[in-house]
Amino acid sequence: MKVKAPVISLDSARNMLEAGAGEIYLGASYGAFKNISYSARGNSNVFHPQITMDKNELKETVDLAHQNSASVSFLANLPQFSLPSKERDGMERNFLDYIQMGLQCGIDNVVLADLGQYLLLREKNIDIPCYVSVYLATINAEQVRFFRDLGFKRVTLEYHMLTEEIKEICQVEGIEIEVFANFGGSFLNGRCSLYHNLGESLDLGFPCKSKYDVITQGSVEKDFPYYDSNLYCSLCSVGKLYEMGVATLKITGRETPANVTKIIVRTYAKCINYLENNMDERTARNLAFEESKDFWNKWCSKKRCKYIKNNVTNSYL
């Protein structure tokens, strides 16, 4: 098992690799869109003036990762990729050029959120390992078998899973399983339409975590986070996920300050290292937690743990 960390620049790559990331994920700017990118984010956000890289910085970042024995996932997972036929040819050419730029820089795999994109790469004989993005909303073993049989090498599971469901999925042979270590959205990613971080100039926050006034006939419910089923942390489940054979713990946070993400990456990387050295899961979790306990206590106090039974997971249908 390894930690997969978000990277938005060469400097952030250095931070994530120093913290123990065994894999990084990133996107590049390519001029196809004004504000958004193929990486399912904007080229910038309210916290960072640029979160995608040009070709030179991408090449330097890939080289740095490989020098540190880390692999590089190239994001091409912009969902809802269908276009009117008159625009499709030009967009296909641009998308293929984007992938070729990544290949020229030495990327190790491509993350996709559209089956048409995958089939296009295969049609053009572009031979690069392809991973299933969370935007394809994978929640069961049948989906995983489908993607494996198409030729995908890894699947990123949805946020909204329990350990027993992940265990069943990990029994599928011939494909790697990736899960999220921290945070994430409140909806199935493949179905969420509360878009944000797509280059807007206003800080919209996270719409699914915001508070709303709900007006119905005869009543008003004010200032309540109706949509918020977000879960914060999986540290208490890392031992079980490790035993199941989960290949990768993905850290979210291209929108998060690098110093915060670095703490999260370091904690999970240390926990995995302890497990690899045959430490029992509880001790591994506690030692990793203690090294940054002031940071983690504020999340633990909210009791919004990933992958285990709690008030939020009990609400899942």
Question: Left, alpha or beta for 160 (phi > 0: left; psi -120 to 50: alpha)?
Answer: beta
> SS3 for 267?
helix
Structural contact between residues 62 and 107, judged by C-beta atoms closer than 8 angstroms: yes
Spatial separation of the C-alpha atoms in residues 316 and 29, rounded to whole Å: 37
| Residue 145, burial from CB neighbour count under 10 angstroms (0-12, 13-18, 19+) | middle
Quote the CA–CA distance of 281 and 245 in Å, as a whole number.
14
Q: What is the pLDDT of residue 38?
A: 82
Domains defined for the chain, CATH in brackets: 2-188+231-315 (3.20.20.380)
**What does the pLDDT average to over 139-167?**
95
Q: Which of 26-40, 41-55, 98-112 has the lowest mean pLDDT?
A: 41-55
Determine how many CB atoms are found less than 10 A away from the CB of residue 1. Answer: 20
**Contact in structure between 112 and 118 (CB atoms under 8 Å):** yes
The SS3 of residue 5 is: strand
Cβ-based burial of 2 (10 A; exposed 0-12, middle 13-18, buried ≥19): middle
Report the percentage of the chain scoring pLDDT > 70.
85
Q: Which amino acid is at 215?
A: I
pLDDT at position 45, please? 66
DSSP sequence for 11-67? HHHHHHHHHT-SEEEE-B--SSSSSB-TTSSBS--SS-S--SB-HHHHHHHHHHHHH
Return the axis-axis angle of helices 258-276 and 10-19, rounded to nearest 10°.
30
Q: Please say if the pLDDT value at position 272 is more than 90.
A: yes
Model confidence pLDDT, tens digit, residues 45-87: 666 667 788 999 999 999 999 999 999 999 998 876 666 566 6
Q: What is the pLDDT of residues 175-229, one digit of tens each?
A: 999 999 987 766 666 666 666 666 666 666 667 677 888 888 878 888 877 677 7
* The pLDDT value given to residue 193: 63
Token readout for 272 is 């995995």
Give the model's pLDDT for residue 191: 63
pTM of the model: 0.89
**pLDDT tens figures, 235-249:** 999 999 999 999 999
Q: Are strands 212-216 and 219-224 parallel, antiparallel or unpaired?
A: antiparallel
3-class DSSP state of 269: helix
Mean pLDDT of 143-159: 96
Is residue 311 predicted with pLDDT exceeding 90?
no
Q: Nearest to residue 160, comparing CAs of 182, 139, 190?
A: 139
Instruction: Convert the pLDDT of each residue in 273-287 to its tens digit.
Output: 999 999 999 999 999
pLDDT of residue 297: 86
Cα 137 to Cα 134: distance, rounded to the nearest angstrom: 5
- Whether the predicted pLDDT of 42 surpasses 80: no
Mean pLDDT over all residues of the chain? 87
pLDDT given at position 208: 67
